[in-house]
Structure 1
Amino acid sequence: MAENDREGYDRAIGLMRDCATEDGFLATPTERSNYRRIWGRDGAILVLAALRTGDSDLITTARRTLETLARHQGPHGEIPSNVDPATGRISYGGTTGRVDAGLWFAIGCAEYWHSTGDGTFLDALLPAIERLRFLLGAWEFNNRGLLYVPMTGDWADEYLQSGYVLYDQLLYLHAQRGFAALHAEVHGSRDHALLERLSRLRHLIRANYWFDEHDTAAGDAYHEVLYRRGQEAAPHCANRYWMPSFSPSGYSYRFDAFANVLASLLDVADAGQRQRVDAYIEEELLHDDLPLLPAFHPVIEPVHEDWEDLQMMFSYTFKNNPYEYHNGGLWPMLTGFYVADLARRERSDQARSLLRAVHRANALAMDGESWSFPEYLHGRNLTPGGTRHQGWSAAAAVIGHHALEGRNLFGIDDDQL
């Protein structure tokens, strides 16, 4: 390992330790807004990174993270968006709940058990997992296999995306894999009805979120009229990348980096789709000076019709100026997931190049302090932005490092069910 790579990894492990508390991983030790709390989403990503390290202290903190989230589960099965154990304050979301908090929690629990074999943990958390599983089924609303996600209902909580969001469906797919693995462990048998639902969800994703000229969704479109109109309106997207979402009002067409990476990591994409997404990322997204993935592309500018609606989407202050935050900001965390995907597909040279970019981004200075681990970088100026000492920016470096050593990010797959 090159010296700079070793420093980047060691610094990342150091920040993960700084995020560790008796109650689990904080999103950041930095005092800002509600960031210095244990989050369902951030916490689970830190759990995945901790499991890759094999470090007993970090793995203990991973378990405590999940236990804290379960202890503060809502009355219907809701997993907190974030918890402040010091004050007892719990948030299940802002103007709407956070669908992906529960999805990440389910994934974290199953992956923790799969990695550690901790039966005591499983026995203690199984009731919370089952309540969550029931709630997620209710969030399908029409019992047709896809989750409906309200505006601001997932990690893009200040961006214009809602309805049947691909990112959430992919997490739902892996959460159901986890449910199936846990059922087999507890009952000693396969849950065939769940496995059928899982297979159906994977089929729905493949049929409804990838456009091509052959109309492969024929007979399998979630809503045939919406699908055909979406395909007709976006021929420039066909065979290039996965569509981010659709709703009763139609399809969205911007590139969603998290969704496209997860489609490959979770084995929904086939070889041809992976190749096309890789080409789109390389040709359209990666900055020559510092190749990091943006959350969404293209950027929403003041001249665009979406701009007025975007300006209304914020909790504390408006963050989504062009090339900032979700609106074209560059994210070390997302890039770390892509490194894991590339490494798993044995594209090691590209993975190492992007991992070095993650380290370089994490090393940037904020408030006069180097190794600031920024939340994101400005998409044009490459300056750090958002909250510093972001735990999942550190997790990205750790996940990417171990992926290149052959440790896959997700341990549970279809072959084991």
Structure 2
Amino acid sequence: VQVGFHRQAITQFLAENAPALEIQPESHQTPLKISYFWEKATAEEIHDLHQALLTAQLPCRVIYSHDVYLDIVPDRAGLGPAVKFLVDELVLAPNQVYIAADSNHAADLYRYGFQGIVVANATPQFKEAMQLRAYFSEKEGAQGLLEGLEHHKFFTRPGKAHQWDLAHEGFERAISSLRRNITPLGFSAASLTDNPLTDEESNYFAVWSRDGIKTGLWSLPLNDTDVTECFRRTLLLLAEHQSPQGQIPANVQIATAVPDYGGIGDIASIDSVLWFVIGSCRYAAHTGDRDFLTHIYPHLKLAMQWLRAHDSNNCGLIEIPESSDWMDLFPRSYNVLYDEVLWYQACCDYAVVSAVLAQKEEADSYDRLQERVRYKILRQFWPTTDKQVNGHFAETQFTIGNAQYLLAQISPFGFSWRCDVYANLLAGLMGLLDPPKMERVFQFLWGVGANSPYPVKCLYPPIQSGASDWKDYIVTNLLNLPEHYHNGGIWPFIGGLWVRFLAQHGRTELAHQQLNALAESCRLGIFEEWEFNEWLHGQTGRPMGKAHQAWSAASDISAYQAVHHDNITADFAPLSAEM
């Protein structure tokens, strides 16, 4: 906490530059707090004082309360960070923490999505600052606290034993939410009747390749006739609109059946094709529908040719244009971990179905390729300090030393050291990581709190304005601000993969615990409970995305089944020729 806090220098600076401040008695001072009297200071004056300290290279926090008390504390100190640390250590969800205050000295407590209470005798400045962050009691002091606790149902909340029921209720409600996305053409990305969609969001009235296929894969173990048939329609619709070159559309409009092959900026959706191959192979394997496989195989062959053409240097990995996968407004390109992991899985699955259909040459070719892709991913994306006998100058990622996770992207010109949480979880579930690497990934994600306040953030750390990889287009529609959307937002569908990663890695008790946290994140809603929102804010945990997002519901279903039934094989278990 004390790192960078220069108490004597701050005291001297304020004595010389802020004579209006009156130092409080020695009994009110501590080594990590400098306290002053400053009557009726305005918000602008407080801001200017803080900026002056920062300009003088004296990092700190400035806390002003009750129109008279000014405290200067270390930049990393405060009630908020302290309580957040304790919450993370105890593995509590934000809705399990109740806070109450009456002045700005505790304002930072209200940043983390806790159950907030503001008592009636709070200062006007504090009430104004809190706005929608808390319940405003009509009573003062302790009575106001009790009123707030009553509002938050503290005295009637079910006990710990009920948490198992919460996960089960989430499972049942996820099935209901999933059904809202069944359309005559296939799965919609989000419920078309539960979201106030604008013209700019008209592409939500579509069957999306990546959304629909993941939704189908994660709901296959339900063995629900309506859901399985909707998955089949999704795959056949996408195959019907495959381009002559082999590209699968990003989406197909439900009203007009018009395909769209690009998104914002008309950039190709590479992962739509990857998921199409994986989803088609695994639908056929799970259902045993040989007629479907025979019909879809020519489309798979053409799709794999289209994908393989993206390996322009014949290294085995495919080159990805910028922002051309599910992170469609995000700066990553060339060899992107997420896409390479899917490419590996597509090669494995396609080799198996080719063997099933007696396409031996095709099967052997892609079986050899998947081994090469696997080797390249582990060698290129997991740097070590070991000497590489065949290394070359462009492999700058090895300057990072021993990695704790697979890097987000690499190119001949550099690499991204950020952790793509989603891609690392996929790599673990798809069998690319051995147990020691699984453990290192777990320890890293657990250590940085990627699952806090809810499971799980998609990226760590988020890109901040001014960082070398920040791009102006990140703020388009204000979607990718730090802790938002693809820039470190929480995605329940990835949370489901996190639960399954824990279960597969043998951390069963923690998997149950995190399944409850996932259910709680799905229970939250913008307008009502159990909205299964698209994404949540990465720090506060409040829902900000579309309601009844199909893949959020489907991933919760697969996570529940993985923890309680241990029979989830549709999406990640290796396929065999005996399918």
TM-score band (shorter)? Answer: over 0.9
Q: What's the CA shift for 1:128?
A: 1.1
- 8 Å contact kept, 1:178–1:412: no
Contact 2:209 2:276 in 1 (8 A): yes
Are 2:345 and 1:179 equivalent residues in the alignment? no
Counterpart selection for 1:225 from 393, 399, 409: 393
Range that drifts further, 270-279 or 182-191: 182-191
2:489 corresponds to 1:317: no
1:342·1:350 contact (CA, 8 Å) conserved in 2? yes
2:80 aligned partner: none
Residue ranges of structure 2 left out of the alignment (5+ in a row): 1-162
Cα 1:414–1:110 change in 2 (3 A) is closer
Deviations 1:48-75 (A, max 9, x none): 1221211121111111111111111122
State the AA in 2 paired with 1:370.
Answer: E
- For structure 1, the residue ranges without an aligned partner over 5 or more in a row are none
Q: Deviations over 1:99-126 (max 9, x none)?
A: 1000001110011011011011112211
1:380 and 2:547 correspond: no
Describe how 1:320-331 pairs up with structure 2 within 5 A: 320-331=480-491
Is the CA contact (8 Å cut-off) linking 2:175 and 2:557 kept in structure 1?
A: yes
Compared CA separation, residues 287 and 99, structure 1 to 2 (3 A): closer
How big is the alpha-carbon RMSD for the aligned residues of Structure 1 and Structure 2? 1.9
C-alpha distance after superposition, 1:122-181 (max 9, x if no partner): 122112111101111111122221110001111111111111001111101111111111
The corresponding residue for 1:111 is 282
- CA distance in 2 between counterparts of 1:165 and 1:305 reads 18
Q: Which whole-Å deviations, capped at 9, do the CAs of 1:243-287 have from their partners, x for residues lacking one?
A: 111123211110001111111111111111111100001100335
Change (3 A) 1:415 1:131: closer
Once the two structures are overlaid, the 10-residue window that deviates more, 27-36 or 323-332, is 27-36
Q: Secondary structure at the match of 1:358?
A: helix
Identify the residue that residue 346 of structure 1 maps to in structure 2.
Answer: 506
Kept after mapping to 1: 8 A contact 2:181/2:190? yes
Q: Find out whether 1:389 has 2:548 as its counterpart.
A: yes
Distance 2:457 2:450 in 1: 8
**Change beyond 3 A, Cα 1:78–1:51:** same
**Aligned 8 A contact 2:474 2:481 in 1:** no
Of 381, 384, 387, the match for 1:212: 384
**Residue 413 of structure 1: aligned partner:** 574
Shift of 1:306: 3.1
1:332-370 Cα distance to aligned partner (Å, 9 max, x none): 11111122222223321121222212211111121x222
CA distance 1:136–1:11, shift in 2 (3 Å): same
Equivalent in the alignment of 2:94 = none
Paired residues, what number? Answer: 404
Q: Match for 2:516 among 336, 351, 356?
A: 356
Distance 1:260 1:287 in 2: 14
| Cα contact 1:244–1:254 (8 A) shared by 2 | yes
Instruction: Give 1:416 deviation, angstroms.
Output: 5.8
Does structure 2 conserve the Cα–Cα contact (< 8 Å) formed by 1:210 and 1:242? yes
Measure the CA separation in 1 of the matches of 2:451 and 2:427: 23
Instruction: Read off the aligned partner of 2:511 and give its amino acid letter.
Output: A
Per the alignment, do residues 416 and 186 of structure 1 end up closer, same or farther by CA in structure 2, a change over 3 Å counting? closer
Partner of 2:173: 11
1:76 aligns with 2:253: no
Please tell me whether the aligned partners of residues 180 and 548 of structure 2 are also in contact (alpha carbons under 8 angstroms): no
1:298 deviates by 0.8
- Residues 388-413 of structure 1 show CA distances to partners (whole Å, capped at 9, x for unaligned) of 22111101101101112112353551
| Secondary structure, aligned partner of 1:104 | helix
- Percent sequence identity is 32
Aligned AA (2:517): A
How far residue 40 of structure 1 moved from its aligned partner, in angstroms, is 0.8
**Structure with the greater relative contact order (CA < 8 A, sep ≥ 6): 1 or 2?**
1
- 2:405 is matched with 241
> Retained in 1: the 8 A contact 2:455–2:498?
no
SS at match of 1:246: strand
Partner-residue secondary structure (3-state), 1:254 = strand
User: Residue type of the partner of 1:179?
Assistant: Y
Which structure's CA Rg is the greater one? 2
Q: 1:372 to 1:118 in 2, by over 3 A?
A: same
Conserved in 2, the CA contact under 8 Å of 1:340 and 1:408?
A: no
- Cα distance between partner residues in 2 of 1:306 and 1:210: 20
Contact in 2 for aligned 1:226/1:251 (Cα 8 Å): no
CA distance in 1 between counterparts of 2:324 and 2:505 reads: 31
CA distance in 2, matches of 1:208, 1:103: 21
Give the match for residue 196 of structure 1: 368
Residue aligned with 2:394, SS: helix
The match for 1:252 is 416
TM-score in terms of structure 2 length: 0.67
SS in structure 2 at match of 1:397: helix
Q: Does 1:296 align with 2:459?
A: yes
CA contact (8 A) 1:37 1:83 kept: yes
Find the counterpart in structure 2 of residue 2 from structure 1. 164
Distance 1:46 1:415 in 2: 23
Contact 1:28 1:37 in 2 (8 A): no
Within 2, Cα distance between the matches of 1:218 and 1:319?
Answer: 44
Which residue is equivalent to 1:272?
436
Does the Cα contact within 8 Å between 1:69 and 1:80 map onto a contact in 2?
yes
Map Cα deviations across residues 220-264 of structure 1 (whole Å, 9 max, x no partner): x5xx2122x2221x23xx231111111232111100011111111
Deviation of 1:36 (Å): 2.9
SS of 2:369's partner is helix
Distance 2:489 2:568 in 1: 27
